[in-house]
Amino acid sequence: MQHYEIPVVTPYRLDLTVSALRRLSTNVIDLLTPQDMYIRAVSGFPEPVIVRSTQMPDPALLSVALAGDSSPGAALIATGRGMQ
């Protein structure tokens, strides 16, 4: 699993972003857990990529973990797609 801390522009709120993302019919697996972790499956790679995002205590950081296709290109693309 690859892990990243991504800077975000405040005021950023993962829960509100997820609320907007969940309205898209193209998101096959897209959920917010009771622990406020956003989980999304991203396709289009040799292996599926699972993106898990959590808002950090510092509101200017987002924690993102990726599981699945381990190529660097897949990681970058999946991170971006996970938060679109």
Segments in the chain forming alpha helices (H): 14-21, 72-82
Phi (first) and psi of residue 54, to 5 degrees: -140, 135
> Domain range spanning residue 25?
2-82
pTM for the whole structure: 0.71
pLDDT in tens, the chain (84 residues): 778 888 888 888 888 888 777 666 666 667 888 888 988 887 777 777 788 889 999 988 888 888 876 666 655 555 555 554
Of 64, 50, 49, 78, which is closest to residue 7 (Cα–Cα)?
64
Q: What is the CATH number of the domain that holds 63?
A: 3.30.310.20
Which tokens go with 1?
């699993």
For the chain, how many structural domains are there in total? 1
Which tokens go with 45?
């790679």
Contacts of 7 (CB under 8 A, 6+ apart): 60, 61, 62
